[in-house]
Chain A
């Protein structure tokens, strides 16, 4: 018998223990380097194009832009209004609908909308509300009297109303999904039952008892919504005001200007956007503190019904409206893509045929192939990294702290223009821009966090006694991973991969910058075409763009059910 040893913990991690650092580096290094590459020219320094001295000239040029004040205002107003409405509608809807039977499967209902790229939904929405869009057609001429499309700005309106709606279509379902996930972490049903027994109405019970418990878990997604709404480029190009445009679009416009001297004010605009995002999130954080104290007093007053129920019902109607608009947007682009011709004010095209698609196939094939390859590569790399991190965590038997969670959200909180441009400068210098590898890496920055966030919870919830049992039967850690954990967790692994793939397919700015305009995907083509091509062409590209992620989601849902058709305990279809 060996002598007593102190603290017998065998480190089983080996090479795996390097994976968290590698994973974090994979997205933090380009972001950090990219930010520096944007900050330096914002203060005049970019020797490659003659900026060798630090100075404030880029800022002077930015402030001198005639539409500067309007651009900042429209950025702030659309961003903040979108975030407030998205949070209000998402929470109100959940407060109102939480005890409906279909609410538990709301994730499945929202999957088609969540999987459709932002730009595709925006294009579909534009088809809907444009002066010559589906809504105007449905009401013309019998109600409106229009025989020609009216001359009103429903899309690209200077106030950014269309932009706000276009963003809400995607942000509200995203927040609802996050809330549903957070609900599983608290004993919601029991707490609601107690509140009901004390006489609280459905909505009041949810807002006063459940919301305060889950908000800490919704905080980072809410910040991500704020950052995204302030800094979005593709949706703003399709729906937002164009002269002057929001700050992010202005920065991109200048970055891509033929005159490279515009780099300097562009970098300044991107930096200003970063400052605005930080300021608005800080303001929101302060608002949270105020809401906490006043909310506590409000709860202590003991009101059982009141305005909460009415507010929640209004939010639920809002949610329903957005849902219908999203479905119509997706269906609309489909109809356009199959239309032979479609004159205003007909509510339906005279005939549907495959002719348009046949004509487009040649043009679609290449970007579709690139979209697929980049998506698969980014997802596969991200999956390998995330699985290594999670496996490292469980072999080291340590939970990753909340600091790591903030790190994961960095790519979702920092405006994309603020680091993608600087990154492009570095890529050009390394003679690496415009390659598939560069595009895959740029996508990885956004794919990694989403894949990690959707896989971490189910992976960590896996009963560790399965692994211990397998080990006691003589299975090595590798065998336990491949033969026990991965097969049992196949469903969440596939769903997380589908989420990751959808994120990759939807990337616009990352593709444009890392590809330096030379790598075209369905998304970049669709956004470019949206500026003015035939609706049947745009519809075909947008629909193709939406189909890829949808197929991935369906595969993720169906495959485990097929593979495990005879294994009742894990075959479930959500």
Chain B
């Protein structure tokens, strides 16, 4: 059911005439995780923003982005079907845990019972069965992180971007959550691009590593 590889063709980003991302051509196969490593401020997050379609106008960026045969370079972010995880879980504070998941579930799933079922199943997978009515603020950091990933997956993305999502978790949680994320990315057959400055993240991802220098 995979949509195909995430492909970058000659993507380059500069700001104020300074080159941030040198020409980058890359294909990430379904289920594969590629890591971009580099110090903070090297433009890793900007690269993800470009792929997700949310780059700031101050940057000059060019290059093609495609998933399988679908060119998404010019699409608005909401039409790209690219999931993104930040280092904060960013659960919407005004919605319940279930409300957060329902926000992500495509409107195409119309039947109320079916929607409820999908949400319950996602929660069960995150070992949070019965948490649908809870206030996200009452969950632990690890629980929130898992809900955030389930939210991303429920939107049925065709690729996954990870923007240092393990950064704020403590050591034990970090290991658990890494396994949780990579297992799901593989199971869903998602081409995944991880940016991090932590070599352990890259190792856990187990795929190719691309180094970015400070510009």
Interface centre among A398, A490, A564, A569 (most CB of B within 10 A): A569
**Which listed residue (B92, B136, B151) contacts A484, Cβ 8 A?**
B92
Cβ distance A488 to chain B, nearest Cβ, rounded Å: 5
A473–B102 Cα gap in the complex (Å)? 11
Query: B74 near A: Cβ within 8 Å?
Result: yes
Query: A465 near B: Cβ within 8 Å?
Result: yes
Are A4 and B9 also in contact (CB < 8 A) when A12-B76, A474-B155 are?
Answer: yes
Instruction: Check if A398 sits within 8 Å of B78, measured CB to CB.
Output: no
**Which listed residue (A466, A468, A569) contacts B136, Cβ 8 A?**
A569
B50 neighbours in A (Cβ, 8 Å): 8
Instruction: Check if B93 sits within 8 Å of A475, measured CB to CB.
Output: no
A473 neighbours in B (Cβ, 8 Å): 78, 83, 103-104, 151-152, 155
A1 neighbours in B (Cβ, 8 Å): 7, 9, 64, 66, 71
A80–B157 Cα gap in the complex (Å)? 64
Residue-wise, chain A 1-15 has the 8 Å CB interface mask toward B (1 for contact) of 111111111101000
A6 neighbours in B (Cβ, 8 Å): 60, 62
A463 neighbours in B (Cβ, 8 Å): 90
Question: What interface size band does chain A fall in?
Answer: 35 or more
Query: B38 near A: Cβ within 8 Å?
Result: no
Instruction: Check if A475 sits within 8 Å of B94, measured CB to CB.
Output: no
Which residues of B, 65-82, contact A by the 8 Å Cβ criterion? 66, 71, 73-74, 76-82
Cβ distance A566 to chain B, nearest Cβ, rounded Å: 5
**Which listed residue (B9, B56, B62, B88) contacts A8, Cβ 8 A?**
B62
Instruction: Check if A475 sits within 8 Å of B103, measured CB to CB.
Output: yes
Given contacts A468-B52, A473-B151, 15 further A-B contacts (CB under 8 A): A1-B7, A4-B63, A5-B62, A9-B55, A396-B57, A397-B56, A465-B86, A466-B92, A470-B103, A471-B76, A474-B79, A488-B94, A564-B94, A569-B135, A570-B94
A2 neighbours in B (Cβ, 8 Å): 64, 66, 71, 73-74
Query: A217 near B: Cβ within 8 Å?
Result: no
Closest 4 CB pairs of A and B: A569-B93, A568-B137, A471-B77, A569-B137
Residue-wise, chain B 80-107 has the 8 Å CB interface mask toward A (1 for contact) of 1111101010101111100000011010
Query: B173 near A: Cβ within 8 Å?
Result: no
Chain B interface (Cβ < 8 Å from any Cβ of A):
7, 9-10, 49-50, 52-57, 60-64, 66, 71, 73-74, 76-84, 86, 88, 90, 92-96, 103-104, 106, 135-138, 151-152, 155, 157
Instruction: Check if B106 sits within 8 Å of A10, measured CB to CB.
Output: no
Query: A296 near B: Cβ within 8 Å?
Result: no
A476 neighbours in B (Cβ, 8 Å): 76, 78
Instruction: Check if A487 sits within 8 Å of B74, measured CB to CB.
Output: no
Chain A interface (Cβ < 8 Å from any Cβ of B):
1-10, 12, 396-398, 463, 465-466, 468-477, 483-484, 487-488, 490, 564, 566-570
A465–B91 Cα gap in the complex (Å)? 11
A471–B104 Cα gap in the complex (Å)? 10
**Which listed residue (B10, B94, B157) contacts A4, Cβ 8 A?**
B10
Instruction: Check if A4 sits within 8 Å of B62, measured CB to CB.
Output: yes
Instruction: Check if B73 sits within 8 Å of A8, measured CB to CB.
Output: yes
A471–B75 Cα gap in the complex (Å)? 12
Instruction: Check if A398 sits within 8 Å of B157, measured CB to CB.
Output: no
Instruction: Check if B93 sits within 8 Å of A567, measured CB to CB.
Output: yes
A396 neighbours in B (Cβ, 8 Å): 57
Cβ distance A9 to chain B, nearest Cβ, rounded Å: 5
- In terms of DSSP, what is the predominant structure of the interface of chain B? mixed
A94–B7 Cα gap in the complex (Å)? 57
- A sample of 17 inter-chain contacts (CB < 8 A) reads A1-B7, A1-B66, A1-B71, A2-B74, A5-B64, A8-B73, A10-B76, A468-B49, A471-B52, A471-B53, A472-B52, A472-B80, A472-B152, A474-B78, A474-B104, A475-B78, A567-B137
Are A8 and B74 also in contact (CB < 8 A) when A1-B66, A488-B94, A567-B93 are?
Answer: yes
Residue on B nearest A10 in the bound complex, by CB: B76
A490–B88 Cα gap in the complex (Å)? 22
Residue on A nearest B86 in the bound complex, by CB: A465
B103 neighbours in A (Cβ, 8 Å): 470, 473, 475, 483
A131–B95 Cα gap in the complex (Å)? 58
**Which listed residue (A7, A10, A472, A477) contacts B82, Cβ 8 A?**
A472
Interface centre among B71, B78, B80 (most CB of A within 10 A): B78
**Which listed residue (B57, B79, B136) contacts A9, Cβ 8 A?**
B57
Instruction: Check if A568 sits within 8 Å of B135, measured CB to CB.
Output: yes
A113–B68 Cα gap in the complex (Å)? 63
A567 neighbours in B (Cβ, 8 Å): 93-95, 135, 137
A477 neighbours in B (Cβ, 8 Å): 76, 78
A568 neighbours in B (Cβ, 8 Å): 135, 137-138
A360–B155 Cα gap in the complex (Å)? 61
A466 neighbours in B (Cβ, 8 Å): 90, 92
A476–B103 Cα gap in the complex (Å)? 12
**Which listed residue (A4, A470, A474, A488) contacts B93, Cβ 8 A?**
A488
A472 neighbours in B (Cβ, 8 Å): 52, 77-78, 80, 82-84, 152, 155, 157
**Which listed residue (A4, A12, A469, A566) contacts B90, Cβ 8 A?**
A469
Instruction: Check if B92 sits within 8 Å of A488, measured CB to CB.
Output: yes
A570–B92 Cα gap in the complex (Å)? 10
A469–B82 Cα gap in the complex (Å)? 10
Residue on A nearest B156 in the bound complex, by CB: A474
A26–B126 Cα gap in the complex (Å)? 52
B92 neighbours in A (Cβ, 8 Å): 466, 470, 484, 488
Instruction: Check if B64 sits within 8 Å of A4, measured CB to CB.
Output: yes
Instruction: Check if A8 sits within 8 Å of B82, measured CB to CB.
Output: no
Residue on B nearest A489 in the bound complex, by CB: B94
Instruction: Check if B62 sits within 8 Å of A7, measured CB to CB.
Output: yes
Cβ distance B79 to chain A, nearest Cβ, rounded Å: 8
